[in-house]
Structure formats: C-alpha cells, structure tokens
Amino acid sequence: MEHQPVSDVIEKSNEYVLGTYIRAPFVLDRGAGMWLFDTEGRAYLDFGAGISVNNLGHCDPGVVAAVTDQVARLSHTCNLYHTAPQADLAEALCCSGFADKVYFANSGAEAIEAAIKFARKYALVTHGPGKTGIVAFHGAFHGRTAGALALTPKERYQAPFRPLMPGATYAPFNDRDAALSAIGPETCAVFVEPVQGEGGIHPADPAFLRALRDACDATGALLVFDEIQCGVGRTGTLWAYEQTGVVPDLLTAAKALGGGLPIGATLLTDRVAAALEPGDHGSTFAGGPVVCRAALAVLEHINDPAFLAHVREMGALLTERLHAIQSPCIRAVRGLGLMIGVELDIEVAPLIASGWRHGVLMLNAGTHVLRLLPPLIVEPDHIERLVSALEAMLWEIDAV
C-alpha cells in the first residue's frame, strides 16, 4: 500500500474518526518483534504492546502462519456451528487452570459483561431473587460498556453516563476489613484485578484475595478475577492468580489472548456453568475460527515454562534497572513480572511525548504513573535502551 502523507492521514482521521482518543502525531505502518515503524521510516521500541496485547511482539511468525492458514480456509461460521479451532482453544484454556468451561467474546469489556450476567443468573438459580449486588474496588478498571463501567468507579468515566447498572458497590483495594464489610448476603459477585492495571499497577495482596475468597464462600457470592490485562503470561505465570494461591470461580481474559486479533473469554467452573442454558447469552462473531487459531498459537508459545521463566527474569531485570535510575522525580517502582509501574511526582504525559522523540513507546496509568508493558519477548539490550532513553528524558525534565 502506498504511503499517504502523514498530515493527510492525521487530518482525515481527525475529521472522520470520533474523537474519543488523543493520538500520537505519527502514523504507524508496520511492526516486527519489539519494534514499530511509522510511515516515514522512524523506528519505535514498543514498551506498551498495544496495552498488553502484543505479548509475542509484532507479527509473531507462529500467529501469522496460523491466521493466514485459517483465513484462507474458513473465517466465519457464527456460533450455530462447531469448529475445531474453537473446541481446541476452549480445551487449552480449561487445561491451563481452574476452569471447566469457556464462553467466548470479542473484547475485554464483553468478557466482563458475560461474567456479570453469569453471576446474576447463578445467584438467581442457586439462591433465588434479590442476590444481585456486585462489589468492585477503588482504582479498578473493567471496561467501558454499560455493565463494566458500573464496576469501574472513576468519576470522569461514570459521571456523563448515569444512571449506571444498579447494584454495584465499591470498597478500597487491598483493604481486607473494608472488603469484608462490603460483601454480604445480597452480594452475587466480587470483581477484582489480581494486578490493577489502569489504576496504577498495584498487585493485590494474596492475603486480601484470600479474604475475598473466604467471604465469597461464606455468603455464596462468586469471585471473579479480571485478568484481561495481567493474564496470558504478563506477570510471569500464565495467569496472575497462580502466584496468589487463591482460585476464582470465573476469570476474564482478552487482550493478549488473540495475538493482536480481538477476543475475549470468560472462564468458569462447572458449578457456575450449570446455571446457564442456551439463549442466556451470545455473540455473532465470538470464538470465530481465525481468532481461535491465533489464540492457540499464542497459548502454545506462552504457556511454556522456559518462556515464562524468561518473563520473570526480564521483569526482575527491568525492575532492577528502573530502581537504579537516579532522578528526584521517581517516587516508586512496582509491579509483577513485565507489568511495571513507575510512579513519578510529575505528570507522565510529557514524558510519554518525549518518548516518541526518543523512539520509545510507553503508556500511562492515571496521571502520575508510567506504565511499562513490553512484549514478553523483550531482551536485556531492549531494556538497556529503554532505561537509557528514560534516563535522558528525565534528565531533560529535571534540567528544565
């Protein structure tokens, strides 16, 4: 495809694409491994992975081969028919952890919507009407659709869209006592991220998750882990919950699972699945053969002990190198595996913009946390490059 001038693309995009995003002032054209290239040939080292999506980097050969083969064979059937890629992916997901069944969706928010409906139906069938409350946590992000938004207690996101789905209440994250008083007989589910992403990269304390598990068991509520951002190898185990010793009733996955194609998945136990029947939920596109082949290639690559050991090793190295940066702006470095937040005492937006000029792509989590989510194939030389660039950027800011 011939390149259009950058200003033409940006102008066209600003004119015709609804402005719900502030975008970088360049046009991306292609990707390879850890690198993205713009239409003018500039290279960017990717430490955002499309917000925890490109966990195998850009254009992973295994994903490309699987998708290319499948798209030429059969790209869509709808869910009225069986396909082998969907059955294989469901089996792989169930064999990867606690779940017995999978519901496929097309995005993270949709996986959350499904989990909300499944929890409500389970409560109705098992306990009768009235058990409809859902507890979520301050700092949580579960998505932008109506139900998910009700579980995302950020005023800026919720205010224009009230009234929201009723029944949601919020408790402080990692505060055991407050959570226990929020969970009661009316609660049908507790939604929690094992590592809060958008909220600033905050790992949940395993004792906090254990307390949630016990409170759910005591009240008949379901425990839902949202691993949309922290799952699929990001924290150094396939699922972050494996490091906590606490097992959920449902788990939502999306983002990295599709290897760059859109997918969502809600994993559940047979106990919950028994409450659901044909017609309770559905989607035309979900679990299509192309995205399922991509996801199978992703899982095969990532769910390998040597690969996950690499993630842990690189996560430890990146954390150590970030701690070593001498800058009065850095307040804290925290995270799990390759899900790392650098809390600063300055706003991170100018730093991210400075990264574009230095050829590195980084993300924010709120206004003061720099969020680093590199593809999991990152190597020490990429880490050195990122850290040197960050040191230079912070030095430029400190010098002003």
Ligand X SMILES: Cc1ncc(COP(=O)(O)O)c(C=O)c1O
Residues that bind ligand X (CB under 6 A): 51, 107-109, 112, 141-143, 193, 197-198, 226, 228-229, 254
Residue 346, both tokens: 């300055």
How distant is the alpha carbon of residue 86 from its chain centre?
21
Minimal distance, residue 107 CB to ligand X, in Å? 4
* DSSP-derived 3-state class of residue 337: coil
Indicate the residue among 294 and 383 with the shorter CB distance to ligand X.
294
136, β-bridge pairs = 170
Minimal distance, residue 255 CB to ligand X, in Å? 6
Indicate the residue among 107 and 266 with the shorter CB distance to ligand X.
107
Indicate the residue among 57 and 108 with the shorter CB distance to ligand X.
108
Indicate the residue among 60 and 198 with the shorter CB distance to ligand X.
198
What single-letter amino acid sits at 280? Answer: D
Alpha carbon distance 250, 91 (integer Å): 16
Minimal distance, residue 14 CB to ligand X, in Å? 22
Indicate the residue among 57 and 194 with the shorter CB distance to ligand X.
194
Helix or strand (DSSP H, E) at 65: helix 61-73
Indicate the residue among 122 and 191 with the shorter CB distance to ligand X.
191
Angle formed at CA 102 by CA 83 and CA 241, multiple of 5 degrees: 140
Q: Which positions ≥6 away from 54 have C-beta within 8 Å?
A: 31, 46, 256, 259, 260, 375
What single-letter amino acid sits at 311? Answer: V
DSSP assignment of 149-216 equals HHT---HHHHGGG-S--TTEEEE-TT-HHHHHHH--TTEEEEEE-SEESTTTSEEPPHHHHHHHHHHH
Minimal distance, residue 303 CB to ligand X, in Å? 20
CB-nearest residue to ligand X: 108
Helix or strand (DSSP H, E) at 305: helix 305-323
Minimal distance, residue 266 CB to ligand X, in Å? 12
Give the start-end residues of each E strand in the chain: 28-32, 35-38, 43-46, 101-105, 133-137, 168-171, 187-192, 195-196, 202-203, 222-226, 250-253, 264-268, 330-336, 339-344, 360-361, 363-364, 369-372
Minimal distance, residue 254 CB to ligand X, in Å? 5
Q: Which positions ≥6 away from 202 have C-beta within 8 Å?
A: 139, 173, 174, 195, 196, 334, 341
Indicate the residue among 111 and 296 with the shorter CB distance to ligand X.
111
Indicate the residue among 374 and 382 with the shorter CB distance to ligand X.
374
Buried b (16+ CB within 10 A) or exposed e, 114-123: bbbbbbbbbb
Residue 17, both tokens: 């694409």
Distances (CA, A) of 26 to 99, 234, 360, 364: 42, 27, 13, 18
Indicate the residue among 147 and 197 with the shorter CB distance to ligand X.
197
Angle formed at CA 54 by CA 50 and CA 58, multiple of 5 degrees: 105
Minimal distance, residue 400 CB to ligand X, in Å? 32
Residue for token pair 């509520």: 221
Minimal distance, residue 42 CB to ligand X, in Å? 26
Indicate the residue among 38 and 110 with the shorter CB distance to ligand X.
110
Minimal distance, residue 166 CB to ligand X, in Å? 21
Beta pairing class for 101-105 and 195-196: unpaired
Indicate the residue among 150 and 330 with the shorter CB distance to ligand X.
150
Minimal distance, residue 136 CB to ligand X, in Å? 11
Beta pairing class for 28-32 and 35-38: antiparallel
Minimal distance, residue 73 CB to ligand X, in Å? 27
